[in-house]
Chain A
Amino acid sequence: DQQVKQNSPSLSVQEGRISILNCDYTNSMFDYFLWYKKYPAEGPTFLISISSIKDKNEDGRFTVFLNKSAKHLSLHIVPSQPGDSAVYFCAAAEVNDYKLSFGAGTTVTVRA
């Protein structure tokens, strides 16, 4: 039973524009959410996170928004750069649990 879903397997965006990646979850016990970025032949690397007590967290060009009532979060990348081309995974954890549940990933391609 997949508790974290990324329904868009791919996204193509022009350099300089905004990339919006979406993630939905079903487990109401999730209280911490993370985004990971993965390049080919490398492991995923942590990008940004958000606690359930917040609805927005910003780090440079990356902003994560959380809508708890809709069980939905999104990652905004603005402006998108060619180096942002990668697979992005959404992940979530329950209260006081260090195990993560991952989505299937969204492949972002930034066009020059």
Chain B
Amino acid sequence: ETGVTQTPRHLVMGMTNKKSLKCEQHLGHNAMYWYKQSAKKPLELMFVYSLEERVENNSVPSRFSPECPNSSHLFLHLHTLQPEDSALYLCASSETSGGSYYEQYFGPGTRLTVT
């Protein structure tokens, strides 16, 4: 595997379910990100982990719970979601120092539908 991978690619869940999204990066980066993309809206930064420490939490509801067990893996645990949480969830990684640290590499995303 190369780059940034995400599983599953598609997920349909009920409002009472618990599920997790997984992201893995094979680029040796030390920062990982979760974004939410709703139709016709900008990518919304949800969480940032740098060196496995959460450094950003953009007022995300507690029904979204991130986990970063190591620098290569990032999870987003979901529980009691609402229909308005249906969106494309994108994972990204980057360096946090050096000349190209603004360049983030994205996974293909998980298309989440909450019914």
The answer, among A32, A45, A98, for a CB contact under 8 Å with B106, is A45
Cβ of A43 and Cβ of B4 under 8 Å apart? yes
Cβ of B104 and Cβ of A100 under 8 Å apart? yes
Give, as a whole number of angstroms, the nearest-CB distance from B43 to chain A.
4
Q: Is A88 an interface residue (CB 8 A)?
A: no
B96 / chain A contacts, CB cutoff of 8 Å? 98
Would you list which residues of chain B between 29 and 62 have a CB under 8 Å from chain A?
A: 31, 33, 40-43, 45, 48, 50, 56
Would you list which residues of chain B between 76 and 115 have a CB under 8 Å from chain A?
A: 90, 92, 94-96, 101-109
Give, as a whole number of angstroms, the nearest-CB distance from B62 to chain A.
21
Cβ of B102 and Cβ of A100 under 8 Å apart? yes
Residue of A nearest to B101 (CB): A98
Residue of A nearest to B10 (CB): A41
A102 to B94, CA, bound (A): 16
B-binding residues in A (CB < 8 A):
2, 4, 9, 32, 34, 36, 41-46, 49, 89, 93, 98-105
The answer, among B104, B106, B108, for a CB contact under 8 Å with A41, is B108
A102 to B33, CA, bound (A): 14
Cβ of A43 and Cβ of B102 under 8 Å apart? no
Give, as a whole number of angstroms, the nearest-CB distance from A46 to chain B.
5
Interface residues on chain B, number (Cβ under 8 Å): 26
Cβ of A44 and Cβ of B108 under 8 Å apart? no
A99 / chain B contacts, CB cutoff of 8 Å? 33, 45, 48, 56
Cβ of B42 and Cβ of A43 under 8 Å apart? no
Known: A43-B4, A43-B107, A49-B102. A104 touches B90 (CB 8 A): no
Known: A98-B96, A104-B40, A104-B41. A34 touches B103 (CB 8 A): yes
A101 to B94, CA, bound (A): 15
Cβ of B42 and Cβ of A4 under 8 Å apart? yes
3 smallest CB-CB distances across A and B, nearest first, come from A43-B106, A102-B43, A102-B42
Cβ of B101 and Cβ of A43 under 8 Å apart? no
The answer, among B33, B42, B104, for a CB contact under 8 Å with A2, is B42
A2 to B90, CA, bound (A): 19
